[in-house]
Structure 1
Amino acid sequence: MTAVTGQGPDPFVALMRRYVVDYTNRQDTSVCAEIMEPDYTLRMGPHEVSGRDEAYIPASRKQFMQFPGLGLTVHEVVTNGERLALRFSEHGASRRHEGAAAAWTGLGLYRWNGTRLQDNSVEQDYLSRRRQLASGTPAAVGGPAVAPWDTPARPADPAAEAVVRSWIARGVAAGGPAAARSSTVNTDLTWDDGGPGSEHAVLADAASVIDDLFSAGDAVAFRLTCHGRYAGGLDDVTDAPAGTPATCHLVGLVHVRDGQVASGHLVRDRLGMARALSPAPARSR
C-alpha cells in the first residue's frame, strides 16, 4: 500500500465533517457540546436561535423527530481557514405528513474560534420542502461533492469580494433571476433548488443590506437582507397584492472569473417572506 502524504485535512473542514457525519447524519446531539460553543447562534431569515443547550439543541431535536431518517448531503465546501461555507441538501420522510418525503437545498456560512463553532447564518429552501410534502412528490437530491473533507483552505481574495459587492449593489442578487436575465453578463446562477418557481423573482425594486461576506479564493459567500416590493408569483401568498413592501433574506455562494460573477447558488427565504405577507393561520414547514 502506498503511503498517503500531505499536511492532512484542514482543521475547520475536519470540524465540519464531525458536524455533518457525527452530529447531523447520526442525529447525535451529544456531539454539539464538543463542536459548538455554549453561545452558538443560528440565524435563518429574520430569526435567531441563540444558546446551544437551551435553544439550538431543542430545535434540532424537533427537526429529527419530524424527519427520523434525515440525511444531509454535501455539495460544496469552501473555506479560508477562519470562515467556511457549506452548500448542501437535507432530505427525509416526514412523520407529520404521513411519510411523505422531500429534499431541499441549503447554504450555511459558519464561523469558528479555532476550536469550536460560534455561529451559522443559513437559508434552507423550506418553501420547496413544504410544496413537496404537500404533493407527495419529492425532488431529486443533487450529486454529492466528490471529496468535501479534503477541501483545502484558500486565502481570502479582496479583489473577488469587491466584484461581488459591486454585483450586489447593482441589484442582481436581490432582484433574482429576472435581474440576472437582464444583465449584460452571462452567468450560471441557480436560485433555491432550481425547481418549479425558482425562476421567479420575489422582489421588485430591491435594495440589499450585506449582513455578512467573505471569500476563499475566487469563491465569495454572503448573506443579504433585501427590501423591496413583492413581485407576485408566490401561490402561497393569498392576501397581499404585488407591490406590497416586503423583505427577503438570502444566502449566496458565487464564483468570480475574469473580474465577473460567473456562477453560483443563492437560497432565498421564500417561505418566511410568504408568511410575513400572509400571516394568517400557521402553515406547516
Structure 2
Amino acid sequence: MEPFVALMRRYCIHYVNCHDFSLLPEIMVDDYKLSMGEHMLQGRDTQYVNATRIQMGDIQGLQLTVHDIITNGERLAMRFSEHGASQRQGGKQSVWAGIALYAWRDSRLTHCRVEQDYYARRRQYRTGVPDRVDAPAVAPWDTAAAPANAESERVVRAWIMEGMPRSPGVSFDDEWLGVGPQDVIDAQKAEILDLFSAGPNVAFHVRQFGALRPGFTENSGAGVFLHSTGILSVRNGAVSSGRIVRDRMGLERRLANNVVKVA
C-alpha cells in the first residue's frame, strides 16, 4: 500500500469514522492547518479539534465515504461524502460532498485544503429529505501513485483561467443528483491556491473573482469571490471529466453580511 494512502486510511476509518481523537498526534503535525473558503484553522489540538468536535457533537454518528483518491506520492487528493443525522436539526439526515487536497511530512498530515457542500446540506435540512450517498470507491486503499504530469496541469490551469467553463463530464456540487445547474459567478480572474497532478488527474484549490450571476441571490452583478476545489481528468489535451465543490454557503453568508469585495 502506498504510504500516503495508508495514512489516509487511518485518517478516514480510525479517526473520522470512529471519532477517535486520540489518534490525531499520530496522523497530524502539531501545527496542522485546514484551509476552507476564506478561513484557516491552525493548530491540531486547538482550532482544528475545537471545530471538529462541534460538528461531531452535533452529528454524533457522522461517517465518511471515500469516492475517489489520486496521489503522486508527495501529494494526495480525495473526493468524499460525509453523512449522518443532526441533533440540532431534530435528527434530520443529510449527506454532503467534499474534495480535499492534502500535504504531509514525515508520515503525518501538515495541511488540508478542502471545500464542502454545506449549501446542499442546508437544502436537505429544509426539505427533510436526504440525498443519496454517491457510490464508494471500490478499492480506494489500493490506489497506486502516478507521477506528476506537467501537460495535464497546463490544461487544467488554462481551463481555470478561462473561467472554468462548463464541459461535458464535469459536474459541480450536487448536480450529479439531478439538481439544476447553478451558475454563480462570471469569473474575471482566478487565483490558483494549490494544484498538482497524478498522471492524467489534476486536483486544485482556486479562488475566482468576478460578478455575481443572476439567480443566486438578489445581489446580481456584485463583485464577489468564490472558492472551489476539484479533481479533473485530462484526455487528448482537454478536460474530460471531474467533480468540483464550490463554497456557495460561504459566498451567501458574505453577501448577507454585505461583504462583497474583490481583491
Tell me which interval the TM-score lies in, with the shorter structure as reference length.
Answer: over 0.9
Match of 1:279 in 2: 257
244, 248, 260: which one aligns with 2:226 = 248
SS in 2 for 1:55: helix
SS in 2 for 1:95: coil
Match of 1:120 in 2: 112
Which entry has the higher C-alpha Rg, 1 or 2? 1
200, 206, 217: which one aligns with 1:224 = 206
1:192 maps onto 2:184 in alignment: no
What is the one-letter code of the residue matched to 1:206?
Q
Match of 2:194 in 1: 212
What is the one-letter code of the residue matched to 2:257?
P
> 1:51/1:199 Cα in 2 relative to 1: closer, same or farther (>3 Å)?
same
Deviations 1:132-164 (A, max 9, x none): 112111100000000000101111001111111
Q: Find the aligned partners of 2:223 and 2:87 in 1 and give their Cα distance.
A: 36
1:202 maps onto 2:202 in alignment: no
Match of 1:62 in 2: 54
What is the one-letter code of the residue matched to 2:174?
D
8 A Cα contact 1:82 1:114, kept in partner: no
Deviations 1:222-249 (A, max 9, x none): 0000111111323xx4xx4200111100
Q: Find the aligned partners of 1:82 and 1:189 in 2 and give their Cα distance.
A: 26
> 1:205/1:35 Cα in 2 relative to 1: closer, same or farther (>3 Å)?
closer
Unaligned runs of 5+ in 1: 1-8, 174-178, 181-185, 281-285
What is the one-letter code of the residue matched to 1:117?
L
8 A Cα contact 2:104 2:111, kept in partner: yes
SS in 2 for 1:199: coil
If the length of structure 1 is used for normalisation, what is the TM-score? Answer: 0.88
Deviations 1:139-196 (A, max 9, x none): 000000000001011110011111111111111x2xxxxx31xxxxx53011012246
8 A Cα contact 1:111 1:120, kept in partner: yes
Shift of 1:198: 5.5
> 1:92/1:152 Cα in 2 relative to 1: closer, same or farther (>3 Å)?
same
8 A Cα contact 1:87 1:108, kept in partner: yes
Deviations 1:94-135 (A, max 9, x none): 000000000000000000013100000000000000111121
